[in-house]
Structure 1
Amino acid sequence: MKLWFLTTEYPPFFGGGIGTYMKHAVQMFAGAGHEVTVFVHGQENQELRQTERVRVVRFRSGCDDLGQETAGPEPDDHPAYPFNIMSHWPALSYCYAMQVRRYMDREGLPDVIEVQDYGGLGYYLLQQKWLGYAGISQVPVLVHLHTPTFEILTLDQYPAYRLPEYWAGRMEKFSILAADALICPSNFLKDKVTQTITGGRENLDIKVIRLPFEQPQPLNTELTEQPPEQLNTLVYVGRMELRKGVVPMLAACDRLWQSGEQFKILMVGGDTDFYTRGMSVGDYLRQCYGHWVDAGFLHFTGNLPPEECARQVALARAVLVPSLYENFPLTCVEAMHAGKPVIASSAGGQAEMVGGAECGRIFDWSESGSLERSIKEILSMSTAEIQATGRRARAKIQSMTAYENVLPRRMEVFEALKKRAADKRIFPSVNQFDPWPVLRERGPVESGAEAGLLSVVIPFYNMGRYIDETLQSALNSTYRPLEIVIVNDGSNDQPSINKLREVEATGPAEVRVVHTENMGLASARNTGAAHARGEFLALLDADDLVEPDFYGRAIKILNQYDNVSLVYAWVRYFDAAHGCFIAYNLEFPFLLAHNMLAAICVLKKADFINFARNNPKMLYGLEDYESWISLYESGRLGVCIPEFLTSYRVRTDSMIRGMNDNQVLRMYDEITRLHAESYQRYGTELFSLLNTNGASYTWNSPGNNWQSAELRARHLEREIATLNDQLARIQYLAADAGYISDAGDIEDIGIKKSLHSLGKGLKRKSRQLFAKFANR
């Protein structure tokens, strides 16, 4: 078979648990005669032939090019694209999808693609597959669960709702639900992910298949050959990470040392951030237990070369795997292969490896003193008992991870994937297991809609300068049959009125004009939908543009899926501004906080009329945003084509730019009243999103660079300007009140101290903001 693997880790370029898995998986499949290609990002573009059957495709992702000069004004002109507009994980996922499609175009299709769950790496590949992209739609995609970030952020005390990290977790969930097959190496992870995604309402079809692992004969270092100080050494191998359980582990060891137990802990591995304490985990542990370091009971080695790490494990009495949450840790696999007893927590696949007392000890973090008892039992064992336990551990893990035992089960999954039918009518959604929203039945719809006809509705109010370009854009569409309904919303600009008369008199047969009194944008769209004759409805403002293939691709998607009622695409800005808006599929609760698309889109007309008509109560704007919430509440999805297929004209006199903050907030108030039940159901998540990221009307796209570097720069500029204005105002008021003389002295000492402190604080804040701005 022709197998392609998408991974962020592959030795010798990257280490880590995923990298170790990839090393052995590639050896296993290539050794069985399969052709293996590994895609991994790096510093350069190169294709390496490791063996006759193993090829490594390295590609420069662009994340290191953010400081380079752009070749043009458009976002994809920049050498860092798409990292210049997206945060790390969305951009990386998009790069992998582009690489895979490039190789498919060049050399044909693989039999199966496997991609890791971590970081939502397969998000864009799977989105393109479900949207019917040529090539990838015919290839089965398997997602391998290692440990998704949505499971571990909270355990590492990272703000789980902070953007864009929160969105990376949503990408992981979509990838899991959109995959053709799922595998993971432990029942622990299978159960945890199923519970998180489905809320325990349904089972996910996840095949549990152990990781392949084989290694040469381990070091023959017996306990009797060790120096006396090594006899009671326990080794921890892994990152200094909260999820790994290192903090409660050393707290338990501290209690044992205080009670007089004589043993040494060797901590091998790199460090990570302890976000809530503003330091690293390693520094925190050294701060807490430095006296035990000085006493020789605790030693931190940092990262060690693999050979030296293996030597330290071989010299130890046992290995500790104290994780609070774990999948199938390779440190446990390697320890058991080395013939070492393992003291492991029950919270992960390590418990499934060790099994029980025959291979070490399993302890439970929920039981007080459980780890202490396990350590004391291992310390009390004789040398012969330790060696016998290690031999049993080696035999068990060798059988569990042997290529010859893992390969047949993996091939069963691959063969089943090749035979699976691809006719799917339900598009995957992160909310698909939520009890809300629910699919609502359509009400009665007028009969006589012409099957296949697309009705493009263009609201028009004094837009004579732009309508020709917009009309031509729609008429250039490759999709037919098509009609265009211009709704003149009581225009009072004579050149615009003249332009409409010209269109009516000499315009194309596909175009007609409906005249109404001025009722506003919401009513104009609704009027256009009421006059539309087609099965499908496109919304297009009178100054915006679409690419020729946008409508055809959108309607193909609407015909394919029963639960999709809205299709849109990425948006370019033009005219008074450059830039873009990166859209994603609609989902709650993010949609309840912030609009996820521009109103250049295609819908099933019946669903627009039943569920998404613009509400005239939205007097000042956001009428389209309110409609998308209504549509999603009905159980209909909105999905995004991840390409720049639409263009949004930025005008200084546009309606959206004319809205002030009070009008925006007033419209948000109206939206929450209209959709009170949804806001109540997702209230906890919405509070966390808003509390973490600030007022949602300042957000941009959820996966952008906070939310884009350009927006962040503008935000910082506004903050700096406000602070400087405040400082100038304070100085003016102080001088006006007579507290500051012409020489600049402040005469009242109390006022002087207060103003001086406030001024220094404002200046310091300004300097901090300037520094942030300079670093972005």
Structure 2
Amino acid sequence: MKYWLLTTEYPPFFGGGISTYCYCTATMLQRNGHEVTVFVNDSRVKGFTEDYQKEIRIVRFNPSQTGSSSFLGHVTNISYEFAYVVKHFIEKEGKPDIIEAQEYLGTGYYLLQFKKLQYEWCNEVKILITMHSPAFLYLEYNHVPLYKYPNYWIGEMERFCIQAADVVISPSDFLVKEVGKRLTYLHKNIYVVPNPFISLEEEEVVEGVAEGEEIIFYGKLSAQKGTFKLLQYFEELWLDGFKEKLTLIGGEDIVYHPEGKTMGTIVRGKYSEYLNNGLLRLEGPIPPSKVASRLRRAKVVIVPSTVDNLPYVVLEMMSLGLIILVSKQGGQAEAITNGFDGFEFDHLEPKSFHAQLNRILNLTVDQRAFIRQNALNSVRNRYNLEVVYKQKLKVIQNELAAQGTSKSFPFIRQPADCTYPQILQKGVNGMLSIVVPYYNMGKYIEETIDSIKKSDLTSKEIIIVNDGSTDPESLRKLIPYRTDPDIKVVDVPNAGLASARNIGAESATGEFLAFLDADDQVATDYFSKATKVLGTYDNVHFVGAWTQYYEGSNKVWPTFTPEPPLVLFHNLINSSGLIFKRATFLYAGKNDKEMPFPGLEDYESVISLVENGFNGVVIPEKLFLYRVRKDSMIRGVSNVKKQVLCDYISHKHRKVYAAYGSELFSLTNANGTGTVLDNPSLDYQSFQRFPFNNPVTREVISLIKKNRVLKKIALRAFSKFIK
């Protein structure tokens, strides 16, 4: 089997849970005869590098191949670059049997978008998503503002990965249920498969574990990892006369956002009394090669996470024959049997921690030996590579054998079933009607019509709606089109853009409908790609694309699938350049001619469609060319007019706005007014103060992350910056 694994973390430069999982998984598959390639982004390399580690191919790539970092946020750009690299290698080597990607940070988001949008290079490739640590869940427990950009958008990418995957695996039932509280799963291809584990004794010779003398927390300090809860429990014990010491071993540099300080700084400040009297000790991170020898002195290792998947620290400690005390709030509780090979407490019953810790400290030598041996046996029997391989292979084989394609696009939040009256005619099957509203645009109309005629879609008709043009030159430019057999010119009294679009739609005969302003253009393959998607999915009713500005600007607007609540907060899509199912547009998307000011009729049309359950998608390519003119209509829409128009839209569509009222309230609180936003992948607040979105500063940030001294300096600066 040809198996590709996409990850943002891989040894030797990363040592966390995702890195460990990917190393163990790649090793497991390679040992069983599969051809394994690991793709990992690495800003230190130029282009691509390929090397082999124990017969596993490692492809490292610089995530700057496409230039998308100039208009996409950092995390979103990495996802797009992963898709590009996969495309590059598929075209060079052919398709793999399966691609596995992490859900964390939406790594597989754009790959899945291209697959679902029917791109031939990937539409038949099976994609497996592994749930590790979704940011939309972990940020919540770390008290990071979920609705602030780009956090919310990253969560949307992760949610889409879970919904769109051919199959999803999770290391714990806990994680499946916890995510399920925040996301209604669209499919049932979700399986619990334990993480494979290569025990430390396979990597190095470990002598027998001596009787421990320390109580240890091992892991990064964070709210989600239970650091605050653990210290609260111990402070209660110490105040009650408890004499045992607690040692915290792990990274201290995670920023706790509500305080704007690192976890190490907070702990050292709040618990200075216990640090001074020796009851509490902070040791900092230790290299993986030193874990076994350092942790051997533990009488108990505590894993107090408030939420977690299946942290490798549990398996590592059990494989060393150490006694562990874990919280019930995570997959760590599924790794043990309470009182047999470890111990469990419940954060919802705080006194259970005290009781269980006391129970462990009072174990006899024989009881401790019994627990230790059982822990060793459990890891060997349940998480060794061969046992996990058989479980994972069964899931993969079932998916590879599955046939058929879905007629439904996997929107994150599936709308209710929607139908429109059967009396509406679909039109000529497969044909696209392109409506060009025209008012005194003689200067540009030839370029616009020429771009339509160059389209690779053969079944199309062009309708120019002359909205009462008065300019003699513009009227003259229409003369040859009146006798062109491929073009129909409809003359109407001037009534504005909304009216012209509606008249054009009603005059059209195609199954599909597009609008193109008389000064814009389209790429040759836009119409064919859009109509292919519309013809594939019953639940996709309009299609957009990324927008390339020209003439007055060379910027790119990377638009996004317009799902609520985000599309209600601000426009996500170039609504002036969409391709529709014509019957849908006529039923629920016609432009409102009664809006207080012109300018947002097409955005209101999208909201109307979405409110009625008619969703759309975006092709992540620059396929629409938008001319930036000083005298364009949109430039005449002031901020005050935008606010008035948005008020009009929200009141007209109060039903859908009310349904997402809580989310919209939080999005506005976190990001300010949506009238000035159009790209949820960006960190707008940082951009206002720091020039993060350029190659030089991105390289500086990358270097800081790799240097411990510079990182500490940057964290101190960050603490002052956010106050």
**TM-score normalised according to structure 2 size:** 0.92
For the residue of structure 1 that corresponds to 2:70, the secondary structure is coil
Partner of 1:72: none
C-alpha distance in 2 between matches for 1:119 and 1:342:
30
**Of 164, 174, 177, which residue of structure 2 is paired with 1:188?**
174
**Of 620, 634, 640, which residue of structure 1 is paired with 2:618?**
640
Partner of 2:55: 53
Partner of 1:17: 17
For the residue of structure 2 that corresponds to 1:5, the secondary structure is strand
Q: Is residue 2:121 matched to residue 1:124? A: no
Closer, same or farther: CA 197–440 of 1 in aligned 2, 3 Å: same
**Of 366, 382, 402, which residue of structure 1 is paired with 2:384?**
402
Alignment-mate amino acid for residue 248 of structure 1? K
C-alpha distance in 2 between matches for 1:160 and 1:446:
43
C-alpha distance in 1 between matches for 2:155 and 2:435:
37
Partner of 1:3: 3
Pairwise CA distance, 1:601: 1.7
Q: Is residue 2:27 matched to residue 1:27? A: yes
Partner of 2:190: 206
C-alpha distance in 2 between matches for 1:702 and 1:213:
37
C-alpha distance in 1 between matches for 2:689 and 2:514:
29
For the residue of structure 2 that corresponds to 1:458, the secondary structure is strand
Q: Percent of counterpart pairs with the same letter? A: 37
Closer, same or farther: CA 4–405 of 1 in aligned 2, 3 Å: same
For the residue of structure 2 that corresponds to 1:105, the secondary structure is helix
Answer with 46-55 or 172-181: which moved more: 46-55
Partner of 1:728: none
Closer, same or farther: CA 219–382 of 1 in aligned 2, 3 Å: farther
**Of 601, 615, 640, which residue of structure 1 is paired with 2:578?**
601
Pairwise CA distance, 1:705: 5.0
Pairwise CA distance, 1:621: 1.7
Pairwise CA distance, 1:91: 0.4
Pairwise CA distance, 1:187: 0.6
For the residue of structure 1 that corresponds to 2:140, the secondary structure is coil
Pairwise CA distance, 1:440: 2.5
Work out whether residues 163 and 186 of structure 2, in 8 Å CA contact, stay in contact via their aligned partners in 1: no
**Of 247, 253, 256, which residue of structure 1 is paired with 2:228?**
247
Moved over 6 A (4+): 710-715
Pairwise CA distance, 1:141: 0.3
Closer, same or farther: CA 714–40 of 1 in aligned 2, 3 Å: closer
Pairwise CA distance, 1:21: 0.8
Q: Is residue 2:387 matched to residue 1:387? A: no
Task: Give per-residue Cα distances to partners, 1:132-179, cap 9 Å, x unaligned.
Answer: 112211110000011101111121111100011110000000010100
For the residue of structure 2 that corresponds to 1:113, the secondary structure is strand
C-alpha distance in 2 between matches for 1:613 and 1:26:
53
Answer with 523-532 or 420-429: which moved more: 420-429
C-alpha distance in 1 between matches for 2:72 and 2:136:
19
Alignment of 1:540-555 (within 5 A): 540-555=516-531
C-alpha distance in 2 between matches for 1:94 and 1:122:
8
Closer, same or farther: CA 137–447 of 1 in aligned 2, 3 Å: closer
Alignment of 1:66-81 (within 5 A): 81=67
Work out whether residues 4 and 38 of structure 2, in 8 Å CA contact, stay in contact via their aligned partners in 1: yes
Pairwise CA distance, 1:497: 1.8
Task: Give per-residue Cα distances to partners, 1:27-68, cap 9 Å, x unaligned.
Answer: 111111111000001111443432563100000113xxxxxx
Q: Is residue 2:316 matched to residue 1:356? A: no
Partner of 1:512: 488
Q: How many residues align?
A: 688
Alignment-mate amino acid for residue 216 of structure 2? V
Pairwise CA distance, 1:704: 3.4
Alignment of 1:627-776 (within 5 A): 627-706=605-684
Alignment of 1:140-159 (within 5 A): 140-159=126-145
Larger Rg: 1
Task: Give per-residue Cα distances to partners, 1:181-225, cap 9 Å, x unaligned.
Answer: 010110100111122111xx877431101111122536334434x
**Of 233, 258, 278, which residue of structure 1 is paired with 2:239?**
258
Task: Give per-residue Cα distances to partners, 1:271-297, cap 9 Å, x unaligned.
Answer: 211110121112111111112112222
Answer with 301-310 or 102-111: which moved more: 301-310
C-alpha distance in 2 between matches for 1:430 and 1:656:
31
Pairwise CA distance, 1:449: 2.2
Work out whether residues 426 and 511 of structure 2, in 8 Å CA contact, stay in contact via their aligned partners in 1: no
Partner of 1:313: 295
Closer, same or farther: CA 512–713 of 1 in aligned 2, 3 Å: farther
Answer with 439-448 or 109-118: which moved more: 439-448
Work out whether residues 700 and 708 of structure 1, in 8 Å CA contact, stay in contact via their aligned partners in 2: no
Pairwise CA distance, 1:357: 1.0
Closer, same or farther: CA 448–592 of 1 in aligned 2, 3 Å: closer
Closer, same or farther: CA 164–514 of 1 in aligned 2, 3 Å: same
Q: Is residue 2:479 matched to residue 1:468? A: no
Pairwise CA distance, 1:594: 1.0
Task: Give per-residue Cα distances to partners, 1:95-148, cap 9 Å, x unaligned.
Answer: 000001100000111111000010010000000001111221111000001110
* Structure 1 unpaired stretches of 5+: 63-78, 225-230, 716-767
Work out whether residues 437 and 500 of structure 2, in 8 Å CA contact, stay in contact via their aligned partners in 1: yes
Alignment of 1:42-121 (within 5 A): 42=42, 43-44=44-45, 45-51=47-53, 53-62=55-64, 81-121=67-107
Alignment-mate amino acid for residue 616 of structure 1? K
Instruction: Quote the RMSD (CA, aligned, Å).
Output: 2.1
C-alpha distance in 2 between matches for 1:202 and 1:298:
47
Q: Is residue 2:318 matched to residue 1:336? A: yes
Alignment of 1:343-492 (within 5 A): 343-432=325-414, 437-447=415-425, 449-492=427-470
